[in-house]
Homo-oligomer: A and B are copies of this chain.
Amino acid sequence: MKFTIKRNAFIKKLTDVQRAISSKTAIEILTGLKITATENSITLTGSDSDISIENEISIDDSNYELLIDEPGSIVLPARFFSEIIKRLPENTFTIEVNDHFQATITSGQTEYQVNGVDADNYPHLPEIDTNEQLSIPADIMKQVINQTVIAVSTQESRPLLTGVHLTIKDGELHAVATDSHRLSQRKVKLSGAENIDYDIIVPGRSLIELSRMIADSTGNLEIQIAENQILFNFDTTAFYSRLLEGMYPDTDRLIPQSSETEIELNAVNLLHAIERASLLSHEGRNNVVKLSLNSESQTAVLSSNSPEVGNIEEELQFDKMTGNDIEISFNPDYMRAALQAFGQAEVKLSLTLPLRPFTLMPTEDSEDFVQLITPVRTY
């Protein structure tokens, strides 16, 4: 294998593929980056066996100034290789692999020799044996991910809850995540998916990496689903993730259908107030803040009290409040994560009783996005 390529452009693709490569893996060869060169393109592959990422660079893409002298393949230590490439002195570099799996990397007066491994020993990527393909705009998928992964469980004791439950039915995608203290649910219409039917659980970590990778992508994600794998194709990238196996709990019945008290306010203002209150709650023994709503006097007060350290009280600005008076206590970290997912929007909090879950919805398009938080008992 031998090729020459522009360094900066290559580094971007390398960084993407490295998202899948962990130095902590038990499978030695997976700490490596697989590079394959054909007559027309090179392909970078990284995998931690849960996530696999493949990125192709074509000789036709002028950004890379790619010149392939000799096809072939090699596996190189990923972190070390990427540090070398980042430090090379010139704008381009050449990599040449000999029969002993040694790669010579040349750039200007610098010449590295790096010991590699036969690419034939690298695990095969999953096979996706379906012709059914879904399409979704990358920015929408990113939104769906970021609005739901926040509620995913980080506890491995209930592995299914570490995933996001995706159901595709009647041309709609439902995404739900819950760690049993809070829940986030997002719905999106999918065009051209009327006859497609899926019910899968994708690991939250996979979706977070995917979301970071599609950061600036403006095109569509093409999605293919097999028995225990999902494949996202976009730009020149193939992103594979393992699926979680099992029956996700029924979450529809958890979301309250009515409420006794409603308040509408700006998500960012409430977020800042929550951040101020949580400074105090984090210092105390219980990480709890209290929201006191009084319809008659039209006051909304956020407070937290940790006798050892001090207390905070803040009167909130709001747009509208109706219904019964209520005092409700909750974990401010859940509230903060929920509010961040609303961006600049106006949100409606709907509450019933002090110990019953309450919901947050955008005041506009409230059908499509709902978050639920379970209060904390403080007495």
User: How far is it, in angstroms, between the C-alpha of A338 and the C-alpha of B84 when the chains are bound?
Assistant: 22
Taking a contact as CB atoms under 8 Å apart, the answer to whether A310 and B87 are in contact is: no
Give the Cβ gap from A302 to chain B, nearest Cβ, in Å. 9
A368 on the interface (CB 8 Å rule)?
no
Using an 8 Å CB-CB cutoff, how does the interface string of A145-160 with B read, 1 for contact, 0 for none? 0000000000000000
The total of chain A residues at the interface (CB under 8 A) is 32
Q: Which of A18-26, A135-143, A312-320, A371-379 contacts B (4 or more CB under 8 A)?
A: A312-320
Taking a contact as CB atoms under 8 Å apart, the answer to whether B275 and A87 are in contact is: yes
A88 on the interface (CB 8 Å rule)?
yes
User: How far is it, in angstroms, between the C-alpha of A87 and the C-alpha of B279 when the chains are bound?
Assistant: 9
Taking a contact as CB atoms under 8 Å apart, the answer to whether B310 and A109 are in contact is: no
Taking a contact as CB atoms under 8 Å apart, the answer to whether B87 and A313 are in contact is: no
User: How far is it, in angstroms, between the C-alpha of A77 and the C-alpha of B284 when the chains are bound?
Assistant: 13
In A1-54, the 8 Å CB interface with B consists of: none
A310-B112 in contact given A87-B272, A89-B272, A272-B89 (Cβ < 8 Å): yes
A247 on the interface (CB 8 Å rule)?
no
Taking a contact as CB atoms under 8 Å apart, the answer to whether B311 and A112 are in contact is: yes
Chain B's closest residue to A83 (CB) is: B279
Using an 8 Å CB-CB cutoff, how does the interface string of A110-154 with B read, 1 for contact, 0 for none? 111111000000000000000000000000000000000000000
Which chain B residues border A276 with CB–CB below 8 Å? Answer: 84, 87-89, 110, 112
Using an 8 Å CB-CB cutoff, how does the interface string of A296-316 with B read, 1 for contact, 0 for none? 000000000000111111111
User: How far is it, in angstroms, between the C-alpha of A102 and the C-alpha of B307 when the chains are bound?
Assistant: 12
Which chain B residues border A315 with CB–CB below 8 Å? Answer: 109
Which chain B residues border A115 with CB–CB below 8 Å? Answer: 308-310
Give the Cβ gap from A91 to chain B, nearest Cβ, in Å. 14
Taking a contact as CB atoms under 8 Å apart, the answer to whether A109 and B314 are in contact is: yes
User: How far is it, in angstroms, between the C-alpha of A310 and the C-alpha of B117 when the chains are bound?
Assistant: 13
Taking a contact as CB atoms under 8 Å apart, the answer to whether B113 and A310 are in contact is: yes
Which chain B residues border A89 with CB–CB below 8 Å? Answer: 272, 276
User: How far is it, in angstroms, between the C-alpha of A317 and the C-alpha of B110 when the chains are bound?
Assistant: 11
Which chain B residues border A102 with CB–CB below 8 Å? Answer: 310
User: How far is it, in angstroms, between the C-alpha of A313 and the C-alpha of B311 when the chains are bound?
Assistant: 63
Give the Cβ gap from A18 to chain B, nearest Cβ, in Å. 16
Q: A112 is contacted by which of B84, B87, B312 (Cβ under 8 Å)?
A: B312
Taking a contact as CB atoms under 8 Å apart, the answer to whether B84 and A279 are in contact is: yes
User: How far is it, in angstroms, between the C-alpha of A297 and the C-alpha of B314 when the chains are bound?
Assistant: 77
Give the Cβ gap from A82 to chain B, nearest Cβ, in Å. 10
Taking a contact as CB atoms under 8 Å apart, the answer to whether B312 and A110 are in contact is: yes
Which chain B residues border A283 with CB–CB below 8 Å? Answer: 80
A280 on the interface (CB 8 Å rule)?
yes
Which chain B residues border A316 with CB–CB below 8 Å? Answer: 109
A309-B272 in contact given A87-B279, A314-B109 (Cβ < 8 Å): no
Give 26 A-B contacts (CB < 8 Å), ordered by A residue. A77-B309, A80-B283, A80-B309, A83-B279, A87-B272, A87-B276, A87-B279, A88-B276, A89-B276, A102-B310, A109-B314, A109-B315, A110-B312, A110-B314, A111-B312, A111-B313, A111-B314, A112-B280, A112-B311, A113-B310, A113-B311, A113-B312, A114-B309, A115-B308, A115-B309, A115-B310
